[in-house]
Amino acid sequence: MNSANPNDLQKARAALHPYRADSESVHSQFHLSLRNRRVIAYGTDRQKVFVLGF
């Protein structure tokens, strides 16, 4: 059951929509920086450092 007010959802969408292109651009740059579309780090700790350091 969704109890959210439709007006609140529209306001939230309007507030967040301008940032969509920026986030897609960052995700695209991150994706293109990966060799063979994979993180070149062994182990979860190193992968986290790579992602956070990007």
Residue 47 within any structural domain of the chain: yes
Residue 1 within any structural domain of the chain: no
Phi, psi dihedral angles at 35 (to 5 degrees): -80, 130
Q: Is this prediction's pTM over 0.85?
A: no
Q: Where are the alpha helices (DSSP H) in the chain?
A: 6-16, 20-33, 44-53
pLDDT tens for each residue of 7-52: 888 888 888 877 777 777 877 777 777 777 676 778 888 878 877 8
By residue range, what is the domain housing residue 31? 6-53
Q: How is residue 17 written in tokens?
A: 């929509």
- pLDDT value for 3: 67
Q: Is 47 exposed, middle or buried (0-12, 13-18, 19+ CB in 10 A)?
A: middle
Q: How confident is the model at residue 2 (pLDDT cuts 50, 70, 90)?
A: low
pLDDT reading at 1 higher than 60: no
Residue in 25, 29, 48, 26 with CA at minimum distance from that of residue 39? 48
The total number of structural domains that make up the chain? 1
